[in-house]
Amino acid sequence: MSRIVTLTLNPTVDKSTTADQILPDHKLRCTKPKFEPGGGGINVSRALRRLGTDSVAVFPVGGPSGVLLRQLLSAEEIEQRPIETEGWTRENFIVVDSSSGQQYRFGMPGAELQPEEQQRVLRALEELPRHPEFLVISGSLPPGVAPEFLVEVVRAAKAQGVRVIADTSGPALRALLQEGVYLTKPNVGELSKMTGVEELDNEAVADAARQLVASGQSEVVVVSMGPQGACVVSAAGTDYIPAPSVKKRSTVGAGDSMVAGLVHGLATGRSLRETARLGVACGSAATMNPGTELFKKADVDKLYQWLLHTMPAQA
């Protein structure tokens, strides 16, 4: 089994609850809160664990909320390489209105990651017992971290023969692509911003992804197209994967679940066709669960088999 490392620079503790009718100026009676570890790379590690693949989660952590984050990850048997920081780990707050089913998500800013703390992150990656096959860089950047820091991370990883998988956005994603990665998973909006094309239909999405591949910015581009599924582009060609028809209850964690499926597929030696379908199956399965819950393995298996056997590759 290959070794996978996830990097989450802006981790969080997600606190979720439900209330009946969310109205202003009223005291809202909430249900018992649920606490879950969060942040892009951390969610990828959690999803990989559900697929039966181990990974090492690298992340900065601080304060009482940081202690809780580590405890929550330990409870899920996630191997950790935490970097202690002065600032406290952020918390997010999610409330579901039980009368309407609407979800309200309150994202808090992360603490500033100091320059010396950033260097400790780099050292933690360099001092892993053995070099990983894959490094997943996922999630937002906390205050104080410039996109150029990710360039340092990617250069160090590529020098060790590590394949980098990027799932972020904005300047951070542009910096990663300028340095060049193995795989990236933009959505249509992010791809549109990168190419400067406002309206992207299916063919335009594929053309834009081909530009990233041809220019050496990413060997594989998996464009998440929401209800339309995904478009996968590599030097081998183009493949469209439709999203299975499922009852959606929440889209939280769907993107991270999709990345986990892609990484799991690559790490277990699946073809790119199989890997892409596993990614879509994981992302779709995650939408079947309420709140911040990730997918159920049984749902992934069912959707994957359907995609694999009923939906042939399309060029």
Q: Could you give the residue numbers annotated as active site?
A: 256
Residue 61 near residue 78, CB atoms below 8 Å = no
DSSP 3-state of 213: helix
CB neighbours of residue 34 within 10 Å: 14
> CA angle 125-92-44, nearest 5°?
40
Tokens of 91: 């918390």
Q: Which two tokens stand for residue 217?
A: 């910015």
**CA 102 to chain centroid:** 23
- Stated as kind and residue range, the H or E segment containing 239 is strand 237-241
Residue 300: strand pairing partners: none
State the Cα–Cα distance between residues 2 and 4, nearest whole angstrom.
Answer: 7
Three-state DSSP at 311 gives coil
DSSP, collapsed to helix, strand or coil, labels residue 17 as strand
Residue among 156, 163, 158, 157 nearest 275 (CA): 163
Task: Please give the helix or strand (H or E) that residue 149 lies within, else none.
Answer: helix 147-159
- Residues 6 or more apart in contact with residue 247 via CB below 8 angstroms: 288
Whole-number Å distance between alpha carbons of 38 and 105: 13
Nearest CA-CA partner of 233 in 244, 223, 243: 223
For β-strands 90-97 and 12-19, DSSP reports them as: parallel
